[in-house]
Amino acid sequence: MAEIHITEIQYVELNSEEGLEFKYKPEVPKLKLVGTLLDAETEDEEEGILFLTQKQLNQVLLNKDIDLKVLDDRWFLNKPLTKEQSKKIGLVDVDAEYMGTAGEFKCYEAVKIS
């Protein structure tokens, strides 16, 4: 298990990937967050994908004054994150399982948000 932090969000969409085996509540629909992820252990920051539930996404965004808008079945930030918002999101610990890569993206499944 890895501890990762979200430092930037490009977009969020409903997961449409077939054949993925989720460990955390596999029966619950997952969202696919594409953005910049920081691995706390290695301090590597790179573009990645985080699969998470709606509840987990709400926990990440809670009290951070972030607005998402829907465009073509994807949720985008209404305006770019401020430094303060980026810092607040980055402080949220996401315990995640590494799932492999999809193209150039590392993929993780969120197990616990704290």
Q: For residues 61 and 75, is the Cβ–Cβ distance under 8 A? A: no
Looking at the predicted structure, is the pLDDT value of residue 7 above 90? yes
Tell me the per-residue pLDDT of 20-77, one tens digit each, with 9 for 90 and over: 899 999 999 999 999 999 999 888 899 999 999 999 999 999 888 888 999 988 999 9
Which SS3 state, helix, strand or coil, does residue 62 take? coil
Say what the pLDDT of residue 102 is.
Answer: 86
Quickly state the pLDDT bin for 103 (edges 50, 70, 90).
confident
Task: Please state the domain count of the chain.
Answer: 1
How many CA atoms are closer than 13 Å to the CA of 84, on its beta-carbon side? 4
| Count of other CB atoms within 10 angstroms of residue 55 | 10
Looking at the predicted structure, is the pLDDT value of residue 17 above 90? no
The range of the structural domain enclosing residue 109 comes to 2-113
Q: For residues 55 and 11, is the Cβ–Cβ distance under 8 A? A: no
Say what the pLDDT of residue 18 is.
Answer: 85
Query: Whose structure tokens read 């696919």?
Result: 32
Nearest to 15 by CA among 58, 67, 56, 52: 52
- pTM summary value: 0.92
Nearest to 96 by CA among 81, 79, 113: 113
